[in-house]
């Protein structure tokens, strides 16, 4: 049996928002998620669908500066908002300091969780430039990593915050 939303003509919803500083105008289905619009319509594939239920954080993007699970956010709620994805962090040929710290600290293993971790870290550091280790752990608690064991990730966020020098690898 075909679902009602697919059997009847459902009007598209116009939305306009900014992603990585660029204006975007789209017509979307009301049931689409922010993740599907970001990945499938805008071809920004850094955010990943890991679990689809908001538990893993692989889909984390910033919406109006706040880290959100884009797999749970209805795309129509993007209207009028400012969205930042991991693709928006690089400036010309240089990595963002958080990305650089992730590389230096060995916080990138398979890379699946990395964009979400980086965006969660950015949301934290944008609002709290010198967080405690406990605050870092709390900010990253919605992001799962199966490879690193988190020590390198926490160390990378500390380095990006200037709480640990780049050449101090003893704590990694």
Backbone phi, psi, residue 50, to 5°: -95, -60
Residue 170 lies in a domain: no
28 and 79 within one domain:
yes
Question: pLDDT higher for 158 or 167?
Answer: 158
Question: pLDDT higher for 136 or 10?
Answer: 136
DSSP summary character for residue 11? P
84 and 31 within one domain:
yes
Would you state the pLDDT for residue 33?
98
Would you state the pLDDT for residue 7?
46
Would you state the pLDDT for residue 1?
47
Sheet containing strand 66-69, strands side by side: 22-28, 13-19, 82-84, 60-63, 66-69
- Section 145-169 average pLDDT: 87
Residue 172 lies in a domain: no
76 and 114 within one domain:
no
Cβ within 8 Å of residue 43, ≥6 positions away = none
Residue 46 lies in a domain: yes
List the structure tokens of 157: 């966020």
Would you state the pLDDT for residue 149?
82
Which H or E run contains 89?
A: none
Q: Total domain count for the chain?
A: 2
Please report, for the domain that includes residue 65, its CATH number.
3.10.20.30
With 90 as the cut, is the pLDDT of residue 148 above it?
Answer: no
Contact yes or no for 37/97 (Cβ under 8 A): no
Last residue of a domain, one of 88, 109, 124: 88
57 and 111 within one domain:
no
Q: Enter the pTM of the model.
A: 0.90
With 80 as the cut, is the pLDDT of residue 25 above it?
Answer: yes
Among 42, 150, 170, 39, which residue's Cα sits nearest to residue 102? 150
102-132 tens-digit pLDDT: 999 999 989 999 999 999 999 999 999 999 9
Question: Which range of residues forms the domain containing residue 53?
Answer: 11-88
40-98 tens-digit pLDDT: 999 999 999 999 999 999 999 999 999 999 999 999 999 999 999 999 998 888 999 99
With 80 as the cut, is the pLDDT of residue 8 above it?
Answer: no
Q: At what angle do helices 97-104 and 151-160 cross, to 10 degrees?
A: 140
118 and 145 within one domain:
yes
């Amino acid at each position: 049996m075909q679902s009602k939303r697919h059997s009847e003509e459902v009007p598209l919803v116009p939305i306009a928002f900014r992603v990585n500083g660029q204006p975007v105008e789209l017509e979307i289905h009301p049931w689409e998620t922010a993740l599907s619009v970001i990945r499938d319509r805008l071809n920004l594939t850094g955010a990943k669908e890991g679990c689809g239920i908001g538990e893993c954080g692989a889909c984390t993007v910033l919406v109006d500066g706040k880290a959100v699970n884009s797999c749970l956010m209805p795309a129509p709620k993007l209207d009028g908002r400012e969205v930042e994805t991991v693709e928006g962090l690089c400036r010309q040929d240089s990595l963002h300091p958080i990305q650089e710290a992730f590389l230096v600290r060995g916080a990138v293993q398979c890379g699946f969780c990395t964009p979400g971790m980086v965006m969660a870290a950015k949301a934290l550091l944008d609002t709290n430039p010198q967080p405690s280790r406990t605050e870092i752990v709390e900010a990253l608690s919605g992001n799962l990593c199966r490879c690193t064991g988190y020590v390198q990730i926490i160390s990378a966020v500390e380095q990006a915050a200037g709480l640990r020098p780049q050449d101090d690898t003893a704590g990694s």
